[in-house]
């Protein structure tokens, strides 16, 4: 009966889609063309080792019916054509632009995926392998990557057709603003943050004499005989005194790890990892992006900004390794150090911050995770925020047999600022996709796909979307805006 009802419903959906067709292509919303699969609500799953002949695949499932097959069973599954990346681990999804960038950890490939045609359109060249962090701008002009193994921050200018490697020992994380005008680089066990800048012709000439001709804040300019890009330290060494103070005030950052950006795009919130990363105190620091813009001739102002860096640093006792900004509220996620049976363990925590006055309005215990490790966050229907952690068995909850469990996935209600539930332990939570409008999320947990209702967190039937191989990330291809994208 279920298959029959699904078949009837699918036929009805196809008739409705056909009714929207003009004298040519079929459209379903926002002017988007009906894809080859003819599915209206698609979730793409990044799968590792799907078979003996492949190390990676991108499978598409129908997120309305939670089915991998067509309504009549033919085809039995949908895949993104042409994908050959090995061990895909991240999907940078951009539904407004109808594409995604999928990074393969097995071969260091960054593959462009065309949502409309459900096929790949090539890979980005010029990036050393592997990358510990990599992002592409929405216009696809620039790619920024942290290549920790070779101590290099890489910039690929796809429009100009060249790649530049800037030396930065132990660089391991990159953050890029949604507007694609600022990129920040982070180094392990360092108090500094770095930013690249494309040079004008005049600057290139002045800086062509080697390091002695560079500004004090420059750590590398390449190519050195005629540099086109420089990498700058945000806190310039010529403004740090003998006691380590910057412009007469303490350095603002304690093991900075990433940045998120304000809704209006004018501010970067730099997260300091603190104790999780071997430091003293976790926090976030407000910094204007105006002096950091990498496009020539568009940046303005000097660092520090009009307010000193230290005066806008806000302590976050619960830890700060990831964050999500929603208008004037920021949700900060991290791990707080706790003493358990004589040893120091870390417990997951979410802190709710009012950005209008930089004050903490609430905090709550969430899933534990590996200290300093990346997490995933996304907002979904019914005022829910979902947080995915890895390494949740190394924390306080597992050690103390917490009564509400030690799973890696947390559902948080943003209307009440309370944790609704922690999902049962199924393994590391590595991916989340908000299927907005349908009141559900798709997750990749423990290498398999699970579906949850956003109304109450209940588990939905996933038997027809389970995959062969290891599911590592998921993305909702038919989201309305780019804001429906995992923050990782």
pLDDT in tens, 223-248: 999 999 999 998 877 766 666 666 55
Angle in degrees, CA 166, 172, 175, rounded to 5: 85
Residue-number span of the structural domain to which 18 is assigned: 1-30
pTM exceeds 0.85: yes
Q: How far are the Cα atoms of 216, 365, 398 from residue 402, in angstroms, in the given order?
A: 52, 11, 7
Residue 344 has pLDDT above 80, yes or no: yes
Provide the CB-side half-sphere exposure for 2 (13 A, CA). 6
Establish if 1 belongs to a structural domain.
yes
Residue 136 within a domain? no
5 lies in a domain? Answer: yes
How many distinct structural domains can be found in the chain?
A: 1
264 exposed, middle or buried (CB, 10 Å; 0-12, 13-18, 19+)? exposed
Report the pLDDT value the prediction gives residue 238, as an integer from 0 to 100. 72
Q: Average pLDDT in the 403-425 region?
A: 95
Residue 477 inside a domain? The answer is: no
Position 249 confidence tier, pLDDT thresholds 50, 70, 90: low
The per-residue pLDDT for range 289-342, each reduced to its tens digit, is: 999 999 998 988 777 654 444 457 899 999 999 999 999 999 999 999 999 988
Question: What is the rounded CA–CA span in Å between residue 366 and residue 145?
Answer: 30
List, for residues 30-62, the tens digit of each pLDDT value.
788 999 999 999 999 999 999 988 999 999 999
Tens of pLDDT, residue by residue over 405-414, are 999 999 999 9
Report pLDDT for 235. 81
The pLDDT score that the predictor gives to residue 29 is 78
- pLDDT the model gives residue 13: 45
Structure confidence at residue 326 (pLDDT): 97
Residue 194 has pLDDT above 50, yes or no: yes
Q: Is residue 282 part of a domain?
A: no
7 part of a folded domain: yes
212 in helix, strand or coil? helix
Tens digit of each residue's pLDDT (9 = 90 or more) over 99-148: 999 999 999 999 999 999 999 999 999 999 999 999 999 999 999 999 99
CB 263 within 8 A of CB 273: no
Q: What is the pLDDT of residue 17?
A: 45
* 6 within some domain: yes
Assigned domain for 22 exists: yes
């Amino acid at each position: 009966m279920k298959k029959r009802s699904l078949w009837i419903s699918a036929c009805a959906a196809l008739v409705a889609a056909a009714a929207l067709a003009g004298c040519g292509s079929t459209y379903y919303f926002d002017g988007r063309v009906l894809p080859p699969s003819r599915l209206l609500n698609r979730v793409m799953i990044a799968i590792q080792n799907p078979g003996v002949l492949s190390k990676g695949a991108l499978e598409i499932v129908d997120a309305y019916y939670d089915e991998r097959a067509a309504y009549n069973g033919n085809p039995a599954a949908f895949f993104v054509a042409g994908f050959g990346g090995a061990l895909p681990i991240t999907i940078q999804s951009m539904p407004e632009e109808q594409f995604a960038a999928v990074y393969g950890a097995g071969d260091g490939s960054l593959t462009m995926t065309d949502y409309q045609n459900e096929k790949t359109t090539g890979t980005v060249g010029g990036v050393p392998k592997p990358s510990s962090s990599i992002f592409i701008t929405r216009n696809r002009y620039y790619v920024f990557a942290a290549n920790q193994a070779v101590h290099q921050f890489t910039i690929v200018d796809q429009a100009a057709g060249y790649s530049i490697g800037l030396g930065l020992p132990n660089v391991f994380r990159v953050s890029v603003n949604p507007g694609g005008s600022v990129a920040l680089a982070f180094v392990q066990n360092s108090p500094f943050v770095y930013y690249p800048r494309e040079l004008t012709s005049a600057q290139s000439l002045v800086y062509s004499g080697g390091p002695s001709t560079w500004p004090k804040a420059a750590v590398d300019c390449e190519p050195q005989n005629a540099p086109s890009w420089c990498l700058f330290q945000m806190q310039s060494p010529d403004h740090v005194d003998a006691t380590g103070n910057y412009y007469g005030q303490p350095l603002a950052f304690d093991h900075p790890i990433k940045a998120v950006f304000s809704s209006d795009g004018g501010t970067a919130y730099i997260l300091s990892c603190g104790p999780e990363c071997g430091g003293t105190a976790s926090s976030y620091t407000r910094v204007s992006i105006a002096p950091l813009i990498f496009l020539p001739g568009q940046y303005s102002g000097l660092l520090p900004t009009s307010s000193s860096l230290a005066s806008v640093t806000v302590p976050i006792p619960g830890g700060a390794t990831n964050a999500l900004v929603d208008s004037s509220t920021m949700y900060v996620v991290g791990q707080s150090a706790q003493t358990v049976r004589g040893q120091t363990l870390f417990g997951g925590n979410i802190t709710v911050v009012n950005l209008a006055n930089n004050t903490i309005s609430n905090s709550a215990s969430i899933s534990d995770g590996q200290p300093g490790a990346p997490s995933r966050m996304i907002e979904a229907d019914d005022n829910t925020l979902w947080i995915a952690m890895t390494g949740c068995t190394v924390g306080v909850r597992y050690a103390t047999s917490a009564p509400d469990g030690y799973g890696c996935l947390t559902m948080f209600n943003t209307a009440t600022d309370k944790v609704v539930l922690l999902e049962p332990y199924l393994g590391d939570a590595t991916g989340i996709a908000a299927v907005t409008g349908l009141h559900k999320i798709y997750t990749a947990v423990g290498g398999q796909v699970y579906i949850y209702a956003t109304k109450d967190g209940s588990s939905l039937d996933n038997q027809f979307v389970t995959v062969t191989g290891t599911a590592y990330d998921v993305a909702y291809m038919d989201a309305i805006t780019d804001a429906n994208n995992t923050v990782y």
